[in-house]
Amino acid sequence: DAGVTQSPTHLIKTRGQQVTLRCSPISGHKSVSWYQQVLGQGPQFIFQYYEKEERGRGNFPDRFSARQFPNYSSELNVNALLLGDSALYLCASSLFVSQRTEAFFGQGTRLTVV
Amino acid sequence: ELKVEQNPLFLSMQEGKNYTIYCNYSTTSDRLYWYRQDPGKSLESLFVLLSNGAVKQEGRLMASLDTKARLSTLHITAAVHDLSATYFCAGYNAGNMLTFGGGTRLMVKP
């Protein structure tokens, strides 16, 4: 059974550009969360989606947006990229929106902004 | 709001030695997770600790949870080079978001 898959694995963008990252959850999982991990730090929560609705938002600017599709896959969009957006972006899927369901992480997308 | 602090942030050990990583958290958390991350890789779940006094062991790693002290520990026994990685603890905050500690970078020297 496939785990959480993210695409692309690596990406280089220029300041000011826009980027879209994609995530496919584990089959049967209905919740997807996004995390940003800057080099040398722990992951920071960005968004959580469940059944296509936003269920949580972290302390990130409006340049960050996301959505979830009927097949439960998700996209994270970042507009007007800044150098500080360079990070590993992790997607996690879980069965439900609940603290009692474990989150499983994808391999991440390494975004470099130059 | 849950805050999670780990110490030490960096740990250099000799093979065969024992050491403990500490994870303090600020408010009640339903459960506590430990993850391992290799350089440039994703997070691998190691342990889920569900209740006060919980202890879990896998190989040379043992995790425990003391909810009264708001403390979790990850103990490493007779370290080997393959354990070199960054270890994170995390708990659930309001809104079902995981809050991570800053990580402990473990380097085991031959």
Closest to A54 (Cα-Cα) out of A67, A40, A73: A67
Identify which of A45, A97, A110 has the shortest CB distance to residue B98. A45
Q: Are A38 and A87 in contact (CB under 8 A)?
A: yes
Q: Nearest residue on chain A to B44, judged by CA atoms?
A: A105
Distance from CA of A81 to the nearest CA of B (A): 21
Tell me the C-alpha to C-alpha distance, in Å, between residue A58 and each of A20, A89, B3, B7, B96. Answer: 18, 14, 14, 25, 11
Residue B50 has pLDDT above 90, yes or no: no
Residue numbers in B near A39 (CB within 8 A): none
Amino acid found at B32: L
Q: Are A20 and A60 in contact (CB under 8 A)?
A: no
Amino acid found at B91: G
Segment A15-39 shows an average pLDDT of 96
Q: Does the beta-carbon distance from B43 to A105 stay under 8 Å?
A: yes
**pLDDT tens across A59-105, in order?**
999 999 999 999 999 999 999 999 999 999 999 999 877 767 788 99
Amino acid found at B80: V
Q: Does the beta-carbon distance from A33 to B99 stay under 8 Å?
A: no
B89 touches chain A (CB under 8 A): no
